[in-house]
Amino acid sequence: MNSRVVYQRLRDAALGVHTLSIAQRHDHALVDVIVDGWQLTLALDSEGLAQCIHCTAPCGAQAGLDAWQRYGSNPCDLLSQWERTQLERLLAPCCSAASTKSRRS
């Protein structure tokens, strides 16, 4: 699964085409989300959405950092500034927690 396919899921969530649901929040500023049956693990940093760590499609196909780095771009790198801002708004409780943690460090 290439990064553009995963980017499309993130873009759909940003545009409101599909709902982004927060499934679980992890330590180290990671959050699992579900978009239209796709499960994504996103990494957050002090500036907001940093990258997509892993993705599992509804059919069971999986991809992660290793696959995307081979092709030179993480799905989050393909987002426009507006799309990124919309996603960060949806992840706001997670992003603000990540920002608080990084300021304490």
The tens digit of pLDDT for each residue in 19-35 reads 999 999 988 889 999 99
Q: Which two tokens stand for residue 98?
A: 């990540």
Distance between start and end Cα atoms, the chain: 36
What tens digit of pLDDT does each residue of 41-57 get? 999 988 889 999 999 99
> How does DSSP assign 11-70, residue by residue?
HHHHHTSS-EEEEEEETTTEEEEEETTEEEEEEEETTEEEEEEEEE-TTS-EEEHHHHHH
Q: Domain limits of the chain? A: 3-95
Query: Which residues is 66 bridged to in the sheet?
Result: none
Q: What is the pTM of this model?
A: 0.83
